[in-house]
Amino acid sequence: MNTALLRQRQPDDQAILVVQVEAAEMDEMWSFVQSKKQQRWLWHAIDHKSGKVLAYVLATHEDAALKQLQQLSAPFSIQQFYTDGWEAYQRLLDEQQHTIGKGNTQRIERKHLTLRTRIKRLARKTICFSKTEEMHDAVIGLFINRYEFGRAV
């Protein structure tokens, strides 16, 4: 949810419609700040049916980041999660609602490719990188907010 955009709008324009999502794909994507030793991860969840981004978190590769993504995704009442085999998903997602495998994560993997192509800071071999976490998160966050959550304002 783009809270900065909501603050700019008139109070009567701030109605929010949250739809129920039957299934979501979750994955994380690696990048770095300053050097490859300072890893930064983009965690995101997308609607399995439409491919629309539901929520994202920029953080380290730890369980706390997945917990934060779960909190942001909670309003969608997601019934089924599709992920890769990373252990955090197995620890934190209910096994009855969790399916592991590449067959159902094709949309989010494709989204990774698009992000890596459009944002050079996410490319694996590049001379373009962020010097601070704040700038790294701002660039990626602004891109996602602009191209995934609409062009309003």
In tens, the pLDDT along 60-104 reads 999 999 999 999 999 999 999 999 988 999 999 999 999 999 899
Q: Which residues pair with 26 in a beta bridge?
A: 45
- Of 147, 148, 153, 145, the closest CA to residue 2 belongs to 145
Task: Check if CATH label 3.90.79.10 holds for domain 22-147.
Answer: no
**Number of Cβ atoms within 10 Å of the Cβ of 105:** 20
Q: Alpha helices, DSSP H only, in 60-119? A: 63-73, 87-92, 106-118
Q: Are 9 and 35 in contact (CB under 8 A)?
A: no
Q: Is the pLDDT of residue 45 over 80?
A: yes
Q: Where are the domains of the chain?
A: 22-147
Query: Among 1-5, 23-27, 85-89, 129-133, which is the least confidently predicted range?
Result: 1-5
| pTM reported for the whole predicted model | 0.80
Q: What is the dihedral of CA 134, 58, 13, 48, to 10 degrees?
A: 160
pLDDT at 153: 42
Give one word for 136, left, alpha or beta, with left for phi > 0 and alpha for psi -120 to 50: alpha
pLDDT at 12: 58
**Number of Cβ atoms within 10 Å of the Cβ of 87:** 8
